[in-house]
Structure 1
Amino acid sequence: MGSGLGAGRLAAALAVRDAADAVARGEGPADRADAVLTALFSVVSPCAAAVERWDPVRGRHETVASAGYRDEALGVMEALFHEDPRFPVVRLGGRPLRVRDIDPAERRGPMFEQVILPARFTDGVSLCLTAGGRYVGSVHASTSSGGVDDESTAVLRLLSADLTSLVDPLDGMPVPVASPDAGAFAWSPSDGRALALTPSARPSLVSGPLADLLAPARWPSRLGRHLLVVQGGELLAVEARPAGRWVVVEHRPAAALAGLSLRELEVLALLATGATNRMVARSLGVGERTVATHVEHLLTKLDAGNRAGAVAFAVTAGLVRMQAPIV
């Protein structure tokens, strides 16, 4: 390798590191994906390269930057790379995988059959990007002459964390979900962004009272577990916890609490805000006598001697009434 090529790779690596450091400081380059693409061309010297971001809701990749690949090839990467026989190896191994390192007898699957062979690429490299076990996306580079040398793969491996922070909307932060069956999303209090982490995520939960509960001024006392009574007859268990500059929110349907009906829980949540019977009636669009009946019933079910005891129960349970249906 000539000194000029080595200097170019070093400059590219330093540029990626500087860009990733800027993201960590909350600044960030205007186009992160282009910074990754430029680095791929400087480090690997390919004739084609692509940056793919994983969309957990759609269950496929999204091309955020590319050069040299035909549209058909990009479509295969987006829809089928995660179904390729070598995908688990690349993802779990955390190392770049070169075409030349795959036994010729094992060179099959959508990436070979629909990308590499039709374009007559002689070599190439793929790297999966992960943050704390969370899959973020991948980068690919292919060449039609020569191959991808050992130093190129070593540089890509060293830059893996920096590349992740540039591709990931969550800046490469590890935000694991505790329960695999829960809906989960990440919310940024600074700008209101909500990004789905699972297919069943409902980012609209952060509108209204929940956003107020999670406001940075109320941290850390308001982070934790809550029960949301959603207008339209739904009870959700929600857990919110910090993840760097983000808040991870998990949610799942919850069972009835202490034998209370959803309407009684809704009344109780309003009482916990200090609302009077008249205020509760106005909020729910019912009469004061109806509210008084609900209060009497919930006091009995909770075995609470007075409203203060019922309110204490609501606060302990993290009961919150959402003012609009969650879609």
Structure 2
Amino acid sequence: MAAPVSDRLIDLLGDLAALATPDEATAAVPRLLERLADGLGAAACQLDTTLTHADDPRTPSFQTVACVGYSPEVSQHLCADLAPSEHGQRVLAATGGLRIDEDDPYDFRRSAHYLDVLHPAGYDDGISLALRDSGAHLVGMLHLSARSTRDFAPELVGALPPLGRAFARLTTVATCSTPDVTLPPEYAVVRVDTAGRAKPVVGRAPLHVALDEELLGIIRSILGTGTRFATFLHQQAGRLVEVRVHCPSGRPAPRQPCTVATRPALSTLGLTLRQLEVLTAVATGAGNREIADELCLTQRTVAAHVEAILARLGSPSRAGAAAKATAAGVLLPSADPASVRSLTRVLPQPIR
């Protein structure tokens, strides 16, 4: 018979239930994992969230939300290598988690997971639990490891079901994983906090590009205008992607939570990268001299590009071409607010 859940684990369940926003949940995850590990006698604990898997959606991949105690090597193994394996599939199929105990009915101690990774790291007992939401959808996985089979608290088995439900909820809250009807499945999605850190979203792959300072600069310029939605193109490491930014607050502040989505660019309206740069500058209202100075071109070359752009887009005017490009989300902006390609000169400013 499973031991009753202790008061400190009941308190932990209460604190988990009280988390209501992604910011609260994200900030609290490491501390809550430490309390969970301490309450159950674990030396290490990790919370992973599910991501889409482009090749086979039936085989989920994971991204770590928070980790306490595991080395980077062990953490990466649990996140990337366990689920696709035979033992990982058993974990995903089980309703109450699978444990390396003294009986070890699945011969986990003979697996490469144990022999090559966990045992050399000093762990002799552990349990992995698939986390599912109220609709029975897989949202993540929880791992706990102990130094010996005697370290886990007697109440471990009884505590896992309610803790699993609570951590499943925490995972969906922390990753802002409400159903998204505006972004098709091919979009990779992350939630970006006020510090510019990307947080995974359940069921979505990581972004197609790195969230570096250049891209963050463009995103912050968008947030600073108070625009709720914006779509643009961004080139990084020779790859052109479409980027969508959603600011739920609609207030003008460069540093605030937002959702960022990417997918490989599907269209450039038939324009070259140089023409997209020129068109973006045209959309800001820049003249040929300004464009030429920034892009290190002659005014004659800029005029030739503009003429080719108008012909390609079938537009009689610069304003019409700019409107068409903005609506199609094919502008190629700069992170520099002083640039003739800054989106702050294109996006509508809020009425104060």
Taking structure 2 as the reference length, the TM-score comes to: 0.65
- Pair 25,272 (structure 1): closer, same or farther in 2 beyond 3 Å: closer
Instruction: State the Cα deviation string for residues 52-84 of structure 1 (Å, max 9, x = none).
Output: 25598x988698323xx9999778657753454
- 1:128-277 aligned at under 5 Å gives the runs 128-129=130-131, 136-142=140-146, 144-145=149-150, 152-163=156-167, 171-174=174-177, 178-179=184-185, 184-188=188-192, 190-195=194-199, 197-198=205-206, 200-204=208-212, 206-215=215-224, 217-219=226-228, 222-223=229-230, 226-228=231-233, 230=235, 235-241=240-246, 245-257=257-269, 259-277=270-288
Residues matched between the structures, number:
306
Q: Quick one: distance in 1 between partners of 2:324 and 2:72? A: 58
Instruction: State the Cα deviation string for residues 274-324 of structure 1 (Å, max 9, x = none).
Output: 222222222212222221111111111222122222122112112322326
Q: Percent identity?
A: 24
State the secondary structure of the residue aligned to 2:196. coil
Q: Does 1:64 align with 2:67?
A: yes
> Which structure shows the bigger proportion of residues in helix conformation?
1
Instruction: State the Cα deviation string for residues 93-118 of structure 1 (Å, max 9, x = none).
Output: 56422346987365442345454799
Q: Partner of 2:309 in structure 1?
A: 298
**C-alpha contact (below 8 Å) 2:215/2:335 kept by paired residues:** no
State the secondary structure of the residue aligned to 2:243. strand
How far off its partner does 1:247 sit? 0.4
**C-alpha contact (below 8 Å) 1:186/1:247 kept by paired residues:** yes
Q: Quick one: distance in 1 between partners of 2:10 and 2:313? A: 62
- Pair 279,154 (structure 1): closer, same or farther in 2 beyond 3 Å: farther
State the secondary structure of the residue aligned to 1:203. coil
Q: Does 1:319 align with 2:330?
A: yes
Which ranges of structure 2 fall in alignment gaps of 5 or more residues? Answer: 52-60, 250-256, 337-352
In structure 2, give the amino acid aligned to 1:308.
A
How far off its partner does 1:139 sit? 2.0
CA RMSD of aligned residues (A): 4.7
State the secondary structure of the residue aligned to 2:86. coil
Q: Quick one: distance in 2 between partners of 1:41 and 1:241? A: 39
Taking structure 1 as the reference length, the TM-score comes to: 0.69
- 1:108-147 aligned at under 5 Å gives the runs 108-113=110-115, 115=118, 121=124, 124-129=126-131, 136-142=140-146, 144-145=149-150
